[in-house]
């Protein structure tokens, strides 16, 4: 269930999210939902091993999943654990995930990780040329360039990696990333679908 707050951003009830309840909070932001898929045991913390398993579950290979786990957990651990010292287990705290937001992005998540529908629509208004409800590889690259904040190299890299992985895994047979796919990536429901499809295709192969 999604509810709009006064700023038009969307907050999502935590009851929808695998029964997980955040400490002292009764709602998850869309950004929290986006990452909650990777919290494999639903304790509110994502360890590198969980990031790895999550990437494997959606169909990424061993090398990409391992690289993603390192890149994401080392990059986000300190930012999502305000006031705590560095942990070499590199945990990510979901309740503070908005602290891990990077620059040079599309602005679809606001500073608190809530979904901003107008920014989402803007992606397609500005960058879709061939099909108003999808992005081609070239359109995606143009969007990444347009979003770059000068000298924000960390943000450039993070955006590039996120979108290129999404494109590589989720483009359709015509080589485009559809709007509804991108929408589902933002709230993490895409990952649940991908994992379910992969599990069922693996089960079919075994039988
Ligand atoms: Ca966990």
Report CA(67)–ligand 1 centroid distance (Å).
19
Is 175:136 a contact under the CB 8 Å cutoff?
yes
| CA distance linking residue 115 with residue 8, whole number of Å | 9
Q: How far is the CA of 42 from the centre of ligand 1 (A)?
A: 5
Instruction: Report how far residue 55's alpha carbon sits from residue 3's, in angstroms, rounded to the nearest whole number.
Output: 29
Q: Report the distance separating Cα 162 and Cα 160, nearest Å.
A: 6
pLDDT in tens, 124-182: 999 999 999 999 999 999 999 999 999 999 999 999 999 999 999 999 999 999 999 99
Neighbours of ion ligand 1 (CB under 5 A): 39, 41, 43, 45
Tens-place pLDDT, residues 107-129: 999 999 999 999 999 999 999 99
């Amino acid at each position: 269930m999604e509810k709009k707050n006064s700023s038009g951003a969307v907050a999502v009830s935590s009851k929808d999210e695998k029964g997980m309840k955040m400490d002292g909070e009764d709602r998850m932001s869309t950004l929290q939902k986006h990452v909650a898929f990777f919290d494999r045991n639903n304790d509110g913390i994502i360890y590198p091993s969980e990031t790895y398993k999550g990437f494997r579950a959606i169909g990424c290979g061993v090398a990409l999943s391992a690289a993603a786990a390192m890149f994401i957990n080392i990059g986000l651990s300190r930012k999502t654990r305000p006031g705590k010292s560095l942990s070499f287990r590199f945990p990510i705290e979901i309740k503070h995930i908005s602290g891990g937001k990077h620059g040079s992005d599309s602005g679809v998540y606001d500073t608190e990780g809530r979904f901003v529908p107008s920014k989402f629509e803007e992606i397609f208004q500005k960058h879709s040329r061939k099909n108003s409800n999808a992005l081609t590889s070239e359109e995606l690259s143009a969007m990444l360039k347009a979003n770059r904040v000068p000298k924000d190299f960390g943000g450039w890299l993070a955006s590039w990696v996120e979108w290129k992985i999404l494109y590589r895994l989720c483009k359709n047979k015509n080589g485009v990333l559809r709007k509804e796919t991108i929408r589902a990536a933002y709230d993490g429901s895409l990952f649940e679908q991908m994992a379910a499809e992969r599990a069922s295709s693996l089960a079919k192969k075994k039988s």
